[in-house]
Amino acid sequence: MSYVTEFPAAEPQEAVAHFLRRLSVETDCADVYHAMTNNDQDFVLLHVVGKPEQFARRHVPGAVHLPWSQITAERMAQWPDDTVFVVYCAGPHCNGADRAALKLARLGLPVKIMLGGITGWQDENFDFAGQISSAPGLR
């Protein structure tokens, strides 16, 4: 018996419920990119970390810069109540997107995290908006 099968796989109906729960709160860079490039964007993309200067240098095209610490009911009132928000941060090493998602959910707003954040976007070789640094490895 391997480490993989040491614990039995979940029953299919349990797996369905588990993955539906995950997909209800997560999306990925490829799905966001596809929606944006096919005129199918039905969400607001929020860049939820960093200073305005950092956002100006590099961000996902079409994103709104709104750091998680500035998310308030008053600030979010500019969008209809049923707006779906997709939040992202620097990458898997950053919890800014989790903080933003929690704040939005506590305000009663629908929210998903874009897995991977900036790091994931770069890994997919998608273009960034802003004045990109010429440092190696940055697009």
Per-residue DSSP letters for 44-105?
EEEE-SS-HHHHHHSB-TT-EE--GGG--HHHHTTS-TT--EEEE-S-TT--HHHHHHHHHH
Identify the band that residue 66 occupies on the pLDDT scale cut at 50, 70 and 90.
very high
Q: pLDDT per residue over 77-121, tens digit each?
A: 999 999 999 999 999 999 999 999 999 999 999 999 999 999 999
Q: pLDDT per residue over 10-61, tens digit each?
A: 999 999 999 999 999 999 999 999 999 999 999 999 999 999 999 999 999 9
Please check the confidence at residue 71 and state whether its pLDDT lies above 90: yes
What pLDDT score was predicted for residue 134? 41
Identify the band that residue 135 occupies on the pLDDT scale cut at 50, 70 and 90.
very low
What pLDDT score was predicted for residue 138? 39
Spatial separation of the C-alpha atoms in residues 2 and 7, rounded to whole Å: 9
What pLDDT score was predicted for residue 41? 97
What pLDDT score was predicted for residue 132? 58
